[in-house]
């Protein structure tokens, strides 16, 4: 352990002192390799690696943070007692003071630039403070189970800790016992102890365990050190005494990698996600990863495998653990002939380039529409065998792949529908699923024929959904667990080829995610796997300022924000699925729209930030209907909108737009044209009494409506006219 002296240091509160700053170095000699600063947590210290290092599962030779490639520095927080130095007047210190001390220490040892700052809990808070004070200091900022501010809940717990430390006869012992309740979770205790007892001591094992941790810390930690660390934890706040608070974080130049714990009671995942969402609106270089654990805050010291998966792409950027990309191919890209051969060549090249990837496929060509058409013919008792035969011939093509099992199951399904002259939504989903299943089986086989280690993945085993057939909603928690489990087992050089569009219920009944749902599947995988990018290969060069089929001189847009892309997805752009953007936005994962048949084109990149202000695109939503409700009873009456949405929601009818006139006597709403009649019936039933009372006088439908949307400019900025 080395020590440097910092003289006349003045704290934020105005207190001045001379203090020693001790530190340890691990790995390569200083100034010979990229430098990583590791900040310790409340009861930690500078000894982060080695046989008894508190983070030696992550840091060391051949570990995630490989000391054969990096120089690792860890300072002791002055006053933690590990080097014998203690501070009694703990109230004079804040977390920002420690950040300034660490910055001064780096200056003294002549470290001007860091590869990364990483810290857990209190150490992560100090890392935030350092980045705010010195925005260009580090290439990567990695706060783990931490945040840029202490929340009210955290401050409250620190207050209780302080009172225990001040008033208990066993201050360190008792404070530690209380703290363990916040570091873990009720579920963690239940799983560990199951209300079991210690027969010798005649107490519950949870009591014995708490006493053990209290005694263990008491034997190595002094009360003055605990008081100081608790005070620092309580005072994390990079925006303290600043007027425009969040702007200070926007100025941080580092790539920010926020790591949360889904069960953390101290630095809650909700707070971490909010921090990420705020930063992602203005910065492209922010990511959020989450450890899934029952262990709460302490998971960052327990779930080393998950933490390593999140950190490996940062510290092993040129190795096998770099982040994977999700590659998605649309139906037209997978058409027979040039389509299939081009897709295989693209994937083969990516394998040669050693790209880590998961591949999501749509049904080939117009397979989904063809299957639905055959299904309807079978229901009506019409001859469907001819079209089914043509479907099979196209799917087989000239390729050497055995599809007999898939064709046999389709035959049985269609025969059943033909006999019953009807089918349920569940049967329809099962039939439509074969478009994707056949597509993935074919591409997997073609890649294997070229010596590529491809693996067929039926997404019904991964994506679990509710039972809303035709437009099922994924159940995130279990789906994410399934995906992570699968990709942990089938990783490395394996190329997982995944069916898009489909999932399954808890009872393993097939569901579909809605039309164009393969994009949604790809986005979900990207989110669950913390992918570096989602590449969506289509038959066009990207997103255009208008539909090129309607506007011949439409121009390609090279970059869009997530918000703009989401609006386009909701208002008519067929390339994007309306639900695709949200999973990507949650993790700030870029989406790139590419043309399978034009590999040299850069396509359209969708990220958190837009390229420039102004109108980006005009989109058209066709085949819609406008429903108008009129009546004096709508004037100033609360709850009308809620009744409308309740009535339509009960019929699974989605409302695209709702608008009320300034007189409040009329309400207009836009729905899919095919849903218009059902919508009117539902509204007439809901407002039957209102019709009788003349509060509602008319419900009318205007067919053949198109919705034209202007994307990319805030209405508040419309201060000049545009010509059309």
User: What secondary structure does DSSP assign to 317-380, as a single string?
Assistant: TTSTTSPPEEEEE-TGGG-TTHHHHHHHHHHHHHHHTT--EEEEE--STTHHHHHHHHHHHHHT
Is the confidence at residue 715, as pLDDT, over 70? no
Give how far Cα 395 sits from Cα of 56, 496, 502, 577, 708, Å: 53, 21, 19, 25, 37
The pLDDT value given to residue 61? 95
Look at residue 60 and tell me whether its pLDDT is greater than 50.
Answer: yes
Instruction: Give all strands (DSSP E) within 427-478, no chain letters.
Output: 454-457
pTM (2 decimals)?
Answer: 0.72
pLDDT of residue 634 exceeding 50, the answer is yes
Structural contact between residues 138 and 114, judged by C-beta atoms closer than 8 angstroms: yes
User: For residue range 189-218, what is the model confidence (pLDDT) as tens digits?
Assistant: 999 999 999 888 889 999 999 999 999 999
Pair of tokens at residue 602: 């850069």
Burial of 56 (0-12, 13-18, 19+ CB in 10 A): middle
**Residue 641 has what pLDDT?**
82
The pLDDT assigned to 423 comes to 96
Residue 661 confidence (pLDDT) above 70: no
Distance of CA 543 to the CA centre of its chain: 23
Give CA angle at 63 (99, 268), nearest 5°. Answer: 50
337 contacts 543 by C-beta, under 8 angstroms: no
The string of pLDDT tens digits covering residues 395-447 is 999 999 999 999 999 999 999 999 999 999 999 999 999 999 999 999 999 99
Give the dihedral sign, CA 82/83/89/91: negative
Whether residue 664 has pLDDT greater than 60: no
Percentage above 90 pLDDT, the chain: 72
The structural domains of the chain, ordered by start, are 2-150+238-315 (3.40.50.1820), 152-234 (1.10.1740.110), 325-612 (3.40.1160.10), 618-715 (3.30.2130.10)
pLDDT (tens digit per residue) in 311-325: 998 997 544 457 899
Mean pLDDT score of the chain, rounded to an integer? Answer: 90
Report the alpha-carbon distance of residue 17 to residue 39 in Å, rounded.
22
Pairwise CA distance, residues 309 & 313, whole Å: 8
Identify the CA nearest to 435 among candidates 537, 580, 331, 339.
331
Which helix (H) or strand (E) segment holds residue 127: the answer is: helix 122-133
What is the reported pLDDT for 611? Answer: 57
Lowest-confidence pick of 362-376, 431-445, 614-628 = 614-628
Instruction: Considering only residues 418 and 716, tell me which one the structure prediction assigns the higher pLDDT.
Output: 418
Mean pLDDT, residues 245-264: 91
């Amino acid at each position: 352990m080395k020590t440097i002296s910092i003289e006349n240091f003045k704290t934020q509160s105005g207190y001045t002192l001379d203090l020693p700053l001790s530190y340890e170095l691990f790995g390569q000699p200083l100034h010979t390799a990229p430098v990583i600063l590791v900040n310790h947590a409340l009861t930690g210290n500078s000894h982060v690696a080695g046989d008894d290092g508190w983070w030696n599962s992550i840091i060391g030779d051949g570990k995630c943070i490989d000391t054969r490639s990096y120089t690792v520095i860890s300072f002791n927080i002055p006053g933690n007692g590990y080097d014998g130095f203690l501070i009694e007047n703990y109230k004079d210190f804040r977390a920002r003071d420690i950040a300034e001390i660490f910055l001064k220490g780096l200056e003294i040892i002549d470290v001007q630039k860091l590869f990364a700052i990483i810290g857990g809990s209190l150490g992560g808070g100090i890392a935030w403070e350092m980045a705010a004070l010195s925005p260009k200091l580090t290439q990567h900022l990695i706060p783990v189970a931490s945040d840029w501010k202490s929340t009210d809940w955290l401050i409250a717990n620190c207050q209780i800790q302080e009172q225990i430390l001040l008033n208990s006869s066993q201050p360190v012992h008792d404070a530690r016992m209380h703290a363990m309740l916040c570091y873990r979770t009720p579920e963690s205790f239940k799983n560990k102890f199951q209300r079991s007892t210690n027969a010798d001591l005649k107490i519950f094992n949870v009591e014995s365990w708490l006493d053990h941790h209290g005694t263990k810390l008491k034997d190595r930690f002094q009360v003055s050190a605990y008081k100081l660390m608790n005070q620092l934890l309580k005072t994390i706040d990079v925006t303290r005494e600043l007027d425009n608070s969040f702007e200070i974080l926007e100025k941080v130049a580092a790539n920010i990698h926020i790591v949360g714990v889904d069960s953390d009671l101290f630095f809650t995942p909700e707070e971490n996600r909010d921090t990420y969402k705020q930063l992602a609106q203005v910065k492209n270089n922010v990511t959020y990863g989450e450890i899934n654990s029952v262990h709460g805050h302490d998971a960052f010291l327990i779930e080393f495998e998950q933490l390593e998966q999140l950190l490996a792409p940062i510290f092993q950027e040129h190795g096998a653990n770099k982040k994977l990309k999700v590659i998605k191919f649309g139906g037209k890209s997978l058409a027979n002939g040039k389509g299939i051969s081009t897709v295989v060549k693209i994937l083969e090249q990516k394998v040669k380039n050693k790209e880590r990837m998961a591949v999501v496929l749509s049904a080939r060509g117009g397979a989904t529409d063809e299957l639905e058409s055959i299904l309807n013919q079978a229901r009506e008792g019409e001859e469907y065998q001819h079209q089914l035969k043509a479907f099979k011939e196209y799917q087989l093509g000239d390729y050497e792949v055995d599809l007999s099992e898939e064709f046999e199951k389709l035959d049985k399904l269609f025969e059943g529908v033909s006999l019953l002259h009807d089918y349920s939504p569940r049967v329809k989903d099962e039939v439509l699923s074969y478009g994707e299943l056949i597509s993935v089986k074919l591409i997997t086989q073609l890649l294997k024929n070229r010596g590529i280690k491809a693996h067929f993945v039926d997404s019904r085993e991964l994506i679990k959904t509710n039972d809303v057939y035709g437009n099922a909603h994924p159940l995130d928690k279990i789906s994410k667990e399934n995906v992570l489990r699968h990709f942990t087992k089938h990783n490395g050089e394996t190329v997982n080829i995944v069916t898009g569009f489909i999932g399954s219920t808890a009872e393993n009944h097939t569901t579909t995610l809605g039309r164009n749902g393969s994009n949604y599947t790809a986005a979900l995988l990207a989110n669950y796997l913390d992918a570096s990018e989602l590449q969506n290969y289509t038959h066009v060069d990207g997103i255009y300022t208008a539909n090129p089929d309607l506007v011949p001189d439409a121009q390609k847009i090279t970059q869009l924000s997530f918000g703009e892309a989401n609006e386009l997805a909701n208002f008519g752009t067929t390339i994007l699925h309306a639900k695709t953007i949200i999973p990507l936005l949650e993790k700030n994962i870029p989406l790139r729209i590419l043309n399978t048949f034009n590999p040299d084109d850069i396509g359209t990149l969708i990220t958190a930030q837009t390229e420039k202000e102004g109108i980006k695109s005009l989109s058209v939503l066709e085949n819609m209907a406008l429903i108008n409700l009129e009546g004096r009873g709508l004037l100033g009456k609360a709850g009308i909108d809620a009744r409308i949405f309740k009535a339509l929601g009960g019929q699974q009818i989605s409302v695209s737009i709702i608008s009320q006139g300034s007189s409040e006597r009329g309400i207009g709403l836009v729905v899919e044209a095919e849903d218009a009649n059902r919508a009117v019936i539902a509204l007439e039933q809901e407002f039957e009494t209102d019709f009788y009372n003349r509060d509602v006088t008319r419900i009318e439908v205007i067919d053949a409506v198109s919705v034209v949307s202007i994307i990319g400019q805030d209405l508040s900025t419309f201060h000049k006219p545009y010509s059309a």
